[in-house]
Chain A
Amino acid sequence: MIPDMILFILLAIVAVTSALGMLLSRSAVYSALNLVLNFGTVAVLYLLLGAPFIALAQITVYAGAIMVLFLFVIMLLGVEQLRKGSALPWQQTLAIISGLLLLALTAYVIFIRPMTLPQVSPTQLGFGTPGAIGEILFNKYLLPFEVTSVLLLVAMIGAIVLTGKREPKTKT
């Protein structure tokens, strides 16, 4: 129990620090790299909770694919350095107020009115493993799984329709 706790506290510190670093950094590339670190730490937290599939999905999809996409966009748009002062002046005040509200609400729920959740049955051995997920995906959720493939295909074709070949412009 104790080593788990130590590991959790260390990871939590890294996760929160990297999240703050992502928010406060002026350089878009630093922000993106901090986000990668954050995704990685959260993935380890998932592993600790006994959800290996979600942990690996987090690494491959978020830390891998999506972050590469982010970095490419930053590189192609050339917005490495953010300009001073945000476009919406009231945004910062609003963010601080809603952040404090959320904090107060969380504190209220945790300390003053601890909600009693219904007893959750302990997870069985093998719950959330890739094997178990595959089993359920290809049995109970076979039809939604297949429909998803159609949906992804059509999303791809739609992207091509909306961005792809245009009628040639008249040359000037």
Chain B
Amino acid sequence: MILNASMFLPILPEILLVALGAVVLILDLVLPKKQHRNIGWVTAAGMGVILLLSIPARPETEPSLVWGGMLRHDWLGFSFTMLFIFGAGITALFAMDFKKLGHRGEFYLLMIVSTIGMALMVSAADLVMLYLAIETTAIPLYILAGFFIRDDKSTEAGFKYFLFGAMTSAIMLYGFSLLFGFAGTTNIYQIAQSVREGGLPAGALIGSMLLVLVGFSFKIAGVPFHFWSPDVYEGSPTPVAGFLSTASKAAGFVVLLRFMMVVFPDITLQWGAVITAMSVATMTLGNLLALTQKNIKRMLAYSSIAHAGYALIGVAVISQVGVSSMVYYLIVYLVTNLAAFGIVASCGRITGSDEMTAYYGMSRRSPWLALALLVALLSLAGMPPLGGFVAKFFVFAAAVDANMIWLAVIGVLNAIIGMYYYLTVLKYVYLYRSEDEEKPLLVTRPQKLAITVLTVGIILIGTVLVPWFNWATTAAASVF
């Protein structure tokens, strides 16, 4: 392998992210303590610049394997890389004004490295690369979840996340080693070929599929591997929880999709059934448990479990329509949930509480923030004309298209349950009164910017459908 300039083009976003990480580290060292907050601006602006500079790195229509078969340069990987970079930039804006979080350069570095990991995860085409990418994503996230070392809940969140992650990683590695042992290669496309030629006994194939699925379900917090998520989201710093629940989860979904579609096309019946069961369990359990939550971060955690269930429908139906509906769902979910967690972060910074009682009468304290929360929660609930409605519509349509009407019916019933707890929060915000009504909720400039971008995004995705849908379809087509 002789290096030449064109080989670096496919990994341009990752290289730029490493460079941004180096800049952040140096700034952390040279800037006086008072100006450390500005590293957040640098990170967010850097992410914006990386988005623009990555345009030449976009893949051709024909996907190709690069770097000795380690990565696959295709639209699915590229689109999600761009989404993660966007999400990281927004998270930097939300975190800037938290004194113990955004005023420390390490926070931004850890987030950037995690983003690199996700970018590699979604385009990895080799078991070695895939595992390394998953760990590069997860290890900084463990640290970020436990970032407030003086706060017991945060430490608990970090540790719990770490233990769950290590355990499921180990089980996933068993699956990987079985696949490698039977196929004799680590490249997933070559494994697929060896499966087609009948090199693997059916038992080993199904066994390794189940083992690998454990690791991926942990990433997407699918039932029964969801136990960590409410505690971790509640304990970790809110901007981190937002990043965890969106970017990390979306990366898990893409890996799950690519792996299942590429390596196990022969046993679609089996894994389709497993994923369908998981989808039903995930959305039902998530929604039912969200009903009784008193803490808004826990409520959002259970709601994000439920959303993983909806998105899994797109995988379970095993069709191109299903895949593009899942991609669309993830785009919407990333933008909407980032907004919801961002608003909770902005609120929690002033009120110092994430309990529902802190949201009583919020519309009188900050009408604009309340409006943004209204948009975000209604989109999560799936109301037109917001992004969430279109996303749910496509996912359910994919289920009907694949003759799984019962799955769509369960999804719709769940969406109705979900409506209840989102509207309850809005009831607190708009109808309840509180004693603190005179105290305005101050939202800082970076938070205002981020919330505005996300709210406009939610409305745009819900109203101007065509470009987003085309994007999702292009990305989905590159899997097959």
**Chain A interface residues (CB < 8 Å from chain B):** 139-144, 147-148, 150-151, 153-155, 157-158, 160-162, 166-167
The answer to whether B67 touches A143, judged by C-beta atoms less than 8 angstroms apart, is yes
- Which B106-125 residues have a C-beta within 8 angstroms of A? 106, 109-110, 113, 116-117, 120
B143 touches A (CB below 8 Å): yes
Query: Is there a chain A Cβ closer than 8 Å to B70's Cβ?
Result: yes
The distance from the CB of B135 to the nearest CB of chain A, in whole angstroms, is 6
Q: Which residue of A lies closest to B129 (CB)?
A: A144
Q: Does B133 lie at the interface of the complex (its beta carbon under 8 Å from any beta carbon of A)?
A: yes
- A166: chain B residues at CB < 8 Å are 149-150
B419 located at the interface, meaning its Cβ lies under 8 Å from any Cβ of chain A in the complex: no
From B1, B117, B120, B146, A142 is in contact (CB under 8 Å) with B1
B interface with A by C-beta (< 8 Å):
1, 11, 18, 21, 67-71, 104, 106, 109-110, 113, 116-117, 120, 126, 128-129, 132-133, 135-136, 139-140, 142-143, 146-147, 149-150, 158
A166 to B116 Cα, complex, angstroms? 28
Q: Which residues of B contact A155 (CB under 8 A)?
A: 139
Of B70, B126, B132, which contacts A148 at CB under 8 A? Answer: B132
* A143 touches which of B71, B135, B139, B150 (Cβ 8 Å): B71
Known: A143-B68, A147-B129, A151-B113. 11 other contacts (CB 8 A): A142-B68, A144-B129, A144-B132, A147-B116, A147-B120, A147-B133, A150-B136, A154-B109, A154-B110, A154-B140, A162-B143
Given A147-B120, A157-B109, A158-B139, A167 and B147 touching (CB < 8 A)?
no
B146: chain A residues at CB < 8 Å are 162
Complex-state Cα separation, A167 to B142, whole angstroms: 21
> Would you give the shortest CB distance from A56 to chain B, in whole angstroms?
22
Q: Which residues of B contact A150 (CB under 8 A)?
A: 18, 21, 113, 116, 136
**Shortest distance between the CB of B180 and any CB in chain A (Å):** 14
Q: Report how far A13 CA is from B188 CA in the complex, Å.
A: 41
B150-A158 in contact (CB<8A): no
Question: In the complex the two chains form, is B128's CB within 8 Å of A167's CB?
Answer: no
B160 → chain A closest CB, angstroms: 15
* CB nearest to A147 among chain B residues: B132
- The answer on a CB contact under 8 Å between B135 and A151 is yes
Q: Are the C-beta atoms of B11 and A143 separated by less than 8 Å?
A: yes
Q: How far is the CA of A143 from the CA of B67 in the complex (A)?
A: 7
Q: List 6 A-B contacts (CB under 8 A).
A: A140-B1, A141-B128, A143-B11, A148-B132, A158-B110, A162-B143
Q: A141-B68, A166-B149 known; A158 and B133 CB under 8 Å?
A: no
- Which residues of chain B come closer than 8 Å to A147, judged between CB atoms? 116, 120, 129, 132-133, 136
- Also in contact, A143 and B129, with CB within 8 A (given A151-B139, A154-B109, A161-B143): yes
A139 to B70, CA, bound (A): 11
Q: How far is the CA of A150 from the CA of B137 in the complex (A)?
A: 11
Report the minimal beta-carbon distance from B158 to chain A, rounded to whole angstroms.
8
Q: Which single residue of chain B is at the shortest CB-CB distance from A157?
A: B106
The distance from the CB of A152 to the nearest CB of chain B, in whole angstroms, is 10
- Name B126's closest neighbour in chain A (CB-CB): A144
Q: B70, A144: Cβ atoms under 8 Å?
A: yes
A23 to B150 alpha-carbon distance, docked (Å): 38
CB-CB under 8 A from B135, the residues of chain A are 151
Sorted from nearest, which 5 A-B pairs have the closest CB atoms?
A158-B143, A140-B68, A154-B113, A143-B67, A139-B1
Of all chain A residues, the one with the shortest Cβ separation from B131 is A144
Report whether A143 and B70 are in contact in the complex, using a CB–CB cutoff of 8 Å: yes
Q: CB-CB < 8 A to B110: which residues of A?
A: 154, 157-158, 161
Which residues of chain B are within 8 angstroms of A162 by Cβ–Cβ distance? Answer: 143, 146, 149, 158
Complex Cα–Cα for A155 and B136 (A)? 9
Within the complex, the shortest CB–CB distance from B327 to chain A, in Å, comes to: 25
A142 CA to B150 CA, complexed, in Å: 40
Chain B neighbourhood of A167, CB < 8 A = 150
Quick one: closest B residue to A154, CB to CB?
A: B113
A167 to B340, CA, bound (A): 31
Query: Which residues of the other chain, B, contact A139 by a CB distance below 8 angstroms?
Result: 1, 68
- Residues of B within 8 Å of A157, CB to CB, are 106, 109-110
CB contacts (< 8 Å) of A144 on chain B: these are: 70, 126, 128-129, 132
Residue of B with least CB distance to A163: B149
A154 to chain B, nearest CB (A): 4
Q: List residues of chain A with CB within 8 A of the CB of B68.
A: 139-143
**Measured CA separation A158–B113 after assembly (Å):** 11
Q: What are the residues of chain A within 8 A of B104 when measuring CB–CB?
A: 161
Q: Out of B1, B67, B147, B150, which one reaches A161, CB within 8 Å? A: B147
Complex CA–CA separation, A141 to B127 (angstroms) = 12
CB distance from B255 to the nearest CB of A (A): 16
Residues of A within 8 A of B18 (CB): 150
Q: Give CA–CA (A155, B135) in the complex, Å.
A: 11
Determine if B71 and A154 form an interchain contact, defined as CB atoms under 8 angstroms apart.
no
Residue among A140, A141, A143 having the largest count of chain B Cβ atoms under 10 Å: A143
Chain A residues with CB under 8 Å of B67's CB are: 142-143
A151 to B158, CA, bound (A): 18
Note all chain A residues with C-beta closer than 8 A to B106: 157, 160-161
Contacts of A143 in B (CB 8 A): 11, 67-68, 70-71, 129
Least distance between B10 CB and chain A CB atoms (Å): 10
